[in-house]
Amino acid sequence: MLKVAVIGAGVSGLSVASLLAAAGHYVSVFEKNKKISEIGAGIQISPNGFCVLKELGLSESIIKNSVHNSSILICDYNKGKKLLQFDQRSVLGNRNFRLMHRADLIKILYRSALSNKVNFNLGYDADAKLLSGQFSFVIAADGVHSKTRALANPMQNKTRRSDYFAWRSIVPNKTSHHNGVRLTVAPNKHIVSYPLRDCDQLNLVLIQEAENKQIFEWGMTERPDEIKRLFSEFGGDLREALDSIETVHKWGLSYHEVPINWTTGNVFLIGDALHPMLPFLAQGANSALEDAYVVAKLITLLDPIEAADKYLEIRKPRLLRLMKQIKNNAWKFHLEHSFFRTCTHSGLRFLDKSFPQSASLPFRWLYNYDVTKLNI
Whether the pLDDT of residue 46 is over 70: the answer is yes
Q: Is the pLDDT of residue 218 over 60?
A: no
pLDDT-derived band of residue 245, with 50, 70 and 90 as boundaries? Answer: very high
Q: Domain-by-domain residue ranges, the chain? A: 3-69+102-159+259-333
Least confidently predicted of 157-161, 241-245, 347-351: 157-161
pLDDT, position 130: 96
For residues 148 and 267, the answer to whether their CB atoms sit within 8 Å is: yes
Residue count of the chain: 376
CA 7 to chain centre: 19
According to the model, what pLDDT value does residue 3 have? 98
Instruction: Report pLDDT digits (tens) over 250-299.
Output: 888 877 778 889 999 999 999 999 998 999 999 999 999 999 999 999 99
Task: Report which of residues 155 and 310 the model is more confident about.
Answer: 310
The candidate with the shortest Cα–Cα distance to 284, out of 260, 264, 309, 254, is 254
Amino acid residing at 163: D
What percentage of the chain carries pLDDT values higher than 70? 95
**HSE of 143 in the Cβ direction (CA atoms, 13 Å)?**
12
Q: Is the pLDDT of residue 144 over 80?
A: yes
Per-residue confidence (pLDDT) for residue 263, from 0 to 100? 96
CA nearest 337: which of 165, 132, 139, 188?
188
Closest CA to 315 of 278, 280, 285, 275: 275
Q: Do residues 74 and 348 lie in contact, with contact meaning Cβ atoms separated by under 8 Å?
A: yes
- Residue 290: what pLDDT? 98
> How far apart are the C-alpha atoms of 163 and 208, rounded to whole Å?
8
Distances in Å between the alpha carbon of 200 and those of 57, 66, 178?
27, 11, 12
What DSSP assignment string belongs to 71-94?
EEEEEETTT--EEEEEETHHHHTT
**Which of 82-91, 110-119, 174-183: highest mean pLDDT?**
110-119
Looking at residue 18, its pLDDT comes to 98
Give the DSSP letter string of 99-114. Answer: EEEHHHHHHHHHHHHH
The helix (run of H) or strand (run of E) holding residue 146 is none
Question: What is the chain's mean pLDDT, rounded?
Answer: 91
Q: What pLDDT score was predicted for residue 39? A: 67
What is the pLDDT, as a whole number, of residue 156? 67
Lowest mean pLDDT among 85-94, 172-181, 334-343: 85-94
What distance in Å separates the CA atoms of residue 323 and residue 289, rounded to the nearest whole number?
16
| Confidence at residue 217, expressed as pLDDT on a 0 to 100 scale | 56
Asked whether residue 229 carries a pLDDT value surpassing 90, the answer given is yes
Contact criterion met (CB below 8 Å) for 170 and 40: yes
Mean pLDDT of 326-333: 91
Sign, CA torsion 354/351/282/201: negative
Distance CA 27, CA 95 (A): 31
Q: Report the run of H or E that residue 206 belongs to, with start and end.
A: strand 201-209
First and final C-alpha spacing in the chain: 19
Give the residue with greater pLDDT, 40 vs 314: 314
Q: Are strands 181-186 and 71-76 parallel, antiparallel or unpaired?
A: parallel
Q: Which fold has domain 3-69+102-159+259-333?
A: FAD/NAD(P)-binding domain (3.50.50)
Report the SS3 class of residue 92.
helix
